[in-house]
Amino acid sequence: MNSKSKGKVCVTGAGGFVASWLIKRLLLSGYQVIGTVRDPGDSKKVGHLWMLEGATERLELVRADLLEEGSFDEAVSGCDGVFHTASPVLAIPKSSSSSSNIKSEILEPAIEGTLNVLRSCKRNLPRLRRVVLTSSSSTVRVREMTSLTPTVDEAVLLDESSWSSEELCERLGIWYALSKTLAEKAAWEFCNRNGIDLVTVTPSFVIGPNLPAVLSPTAADVAALLRGEKEKFEWHGRMGYVHIDDVAVAHILLYEKEEAKGRYICSSTVVDIQDLASILSQRFPFLPIPIPTSFKKHARPVYDFDTSKLKGLGMRRLRSIEEMFDDCVGSLIMQGHLSPTPIIQPPSSPSHTSLV
Ligand SMILES: NC(=O)c1ccc[n+]([C@@H]2O[C@H](COP(=O)([O-])OP(=O)(O)OC[C@H]3O[C@@H](n4cnc5c(N)ncnc54)[C@H](OP(=O)(O)O)[C@@H]3O)[C@@H](O)[C@H]2O)c1
């Protein structure tokens, strides 16, 4: 461990899936970390953070809520950098899908919450060096179909210049993508107007070990797939995947590299759900993963991500699907969220008997 402090940084939404791993990496790199959470006394949500190496010496948790004006002032004050990860990761509102709940539970915390954090950042200028915003590949990939039956050969290569269609997100009710798209655009507008150095990272679906005791929404979706449920992933269809440790390392790279500028796609591999199911069922035959042909094919654009911008900044090799799911499955089993079903072996006949 690096014992010399590399400076003080704030991470919003510290107890979350992505933020927890980012804090683990920041502490290992020698940073002093101020994490914001809605309830620092909720041991189920924050207990795992205190187990991280370096936490007792260099981690502080501060209460802050995206929807309370000025709530982040204390946490951001005196920080050299801010990693803003807090945002609702919800496909639909928890209460009911009325338009007022979509606004109050998904859109407002994402958009107004981001502006709230950035207003605190503005009050911390000129001390504050940079803000790294955790955006999402859903701000890049939600686009109209260019062909009714696209093939993989026709895949559109999406780079950082691509923005999801707000109109399409609204028409299809993809509220999460709409919230992230509007939040990132609002952040760019605010930071450009107020002289804040902003860099954004747009990870695809994040896979890897889960540090919090409670499963995050995306980790819960993955656990459901591995338990044999196909509903969520059938809807996801084609999707990019990235290892959680690569996402954390990318955040820190974007903070540390002076020359980082603009948006950065962070994604390892894009695959159709049928291909993902096939890879996973071969790799984990002891899990009841649905068979690839059982997934309904939705008409969706076929795309890939151009990740050359992040690689050009010096990002290390992004881990493969196999590596990210090995780590994810291992952690889900260890935490008791997944139990391997015993493999039924056919009765052995003399010709199959092992010599040892
Ligand atoms: N997981 C992925 O596959 C993925 C992919 C791309 C981008 N991202 C982005 O990564 C970030 C973290 O996502 P995650 O997967 O780690 O989800 P997560 O575990 O649900 O974390 C979300 C965090 O946001 C906080 N939050 C939500 N509403 C809040 C509010 N009103 N005030 C304060 N904090 C609030 C939550 O706090 P509580 O714990 O108090 O609820 C939680 O800590 C999000 O910005 C997400 O869009 C995730």
pLDDT in tens, 252-284: 999 999 999 999 999 999 999 999 999 999 999
Percent of the chain with pLDDT over 70: 92
Q: Position 102: which residue type?
A: I
So what's the pLDDT on residue 354?
A: 32
Helices within the chain (DSSP H only): 17-29, 43-46, 55-58, 73-76, 99-101, 108-122, 166-172, 175-194, 217-226, 231-236, 244-256, 273-283, 308-312, 321-334
User: In this model, does residue 188 exceed pLDDT 80?
Assistant: yes
DSSP per-residue codes, 218-261: HHHHHHHHHTT--HHHHHH-SEEEEEHHHHHHHHHHHHH-TT--
So what's the pLDDT on residue 94?
A: 78
So what's the pLDDT on residue 96?
A: 72
Residue-wise pLDDT tens digits, 76-122 = 999 999 999 999 998 877 777 788 888 889 999 999 999 999 999 99
Top-confidence residue, 28 or 354: 28
**Site to substitute for ligand 1 among 46, 82, 89, most atoms within 8 A of C-beta:** 89
- Side by side, the strands of the sheet bearing 59-63 are 59-63, 32-37, 8-12, 81-84, 130-134, 198-203, 262-266
Q: What is the DSSP letter of 294?
A: G
> Backbone phi, then psi, for 63, in 5-degree steps?
-75, 135
| Residues paired with 201 in a beta bridge | 134, 264
Distance (Å, whole) CA 48 – CA 28 = 15
So what's the pLDDT on residue 171?
A: 92
Distance (Å, whole) CA 61 – CA 72 = 12
- Contact at 8 Å (CB) between 29 and 5? no
Residue nearest to atom 5 of ligand 1 (CA): 205
User: In this model, does residue 285 exceed pLDDT 90?
Assistant: yes
Band of pLDDT at residue 345, cut at 50, 70 and 90: very low
Residues flanking ligand 1, CB < 6 Å: 13, 15-19, 37-38, 45, 65-67, 85-89, 109, 113, 134, 136, 180, 203, 205-206, 216-218
Nearest to 82 by CA among 139, 147, 132: 132
Residue-wise pLDDT tens digits, 24-79 = 999 999 999 999 999 999 999 999 999 999 999 999 999 999 999 999 999 999 99
User: In this model, does residue 3 exceed pLDDT 80?
Assistant: no
Average pLDDT value over all residues in the chain = 91
Residue nearest to atom 13 of ligand 1 (CA): 18
Band of pLDDT at residue 153, cut at 50, 70 and 90: low
So what's the pLDDT on residue 150?
A: 62
So what's the pLDDT on residue 91?
A: 82
